[in-house]
Amino acid sequence: MPRRCLSICFALILFVAAACQKKQASSEQLSPIDRASPSSPVETTQTVLRKTFALKTSATFPLEIPPHAVQPHLHGIFQSFVSDVRGQSDEAANLDLLVLNQDQYDEFSHGRSGEALFSVEASHNQAINFDLPASLDRSVKYYLIFRSLSGGGPKKVVEADFRVDF
């Protein structure tokens, strides 16, 4: 019996010692998506639009998010006026603002209405704060579109200041 007890204790000690050993690092290769990159644009800002422009029907401003941008954040403000910069800024100056990805923009540019990543409808003065999807291992193109309300209405002038933080 003591010999059997000794064998059980020895087996238990071997089991505990084997369980405490560190596992060998996996030899699996990481995909480029899972790797951190020294070229990651963390803590940088990109000016997307800082301009005053005339708007009759629509105006499109592309923006590109570089690879490895984990949390790109679009923010800014716009104000629209009727006829000139210090003209009337009320419901008569209302417009729509859309943020579209490439597929959505393709649909939009072919006259097909669809979804937008982000939209502001019928506004003449608006602050925007929107988190864009991560870009992973490739750059991603988005479009900031200012659109006059259906029916056109009077010509508008828009002051806009937009940036993307990474």
| Angstrom distances, CA of residue 21 to CA of 7, 13, 15, 28, 143 | 22, 13, 10, 20, 53
- Between CA 143 and CA 62 the distance in angstroms is 4
Whole-model pTM over 0.75? no
Write the burial class of residue 160 (CB in 10 Å: 0-12 exposed, 13-18 middle, 19+ buried): buried
pLDDT for 96 equals 95
Residue pair 130/65 in contact (Cβ under 8 Å)? The answer is no
The pLDDT tens digits for 108-122 are 998 887 899 999 999
pLDDT tens digits for range 20-79: 655 554 545 655 545 544 455 567 888 999 999 999 999 999 999 999 898 999 999 999
- Which residue segments constitute the domains of the chain, with CATH numbers given? 40-165 (2.60.120.380)
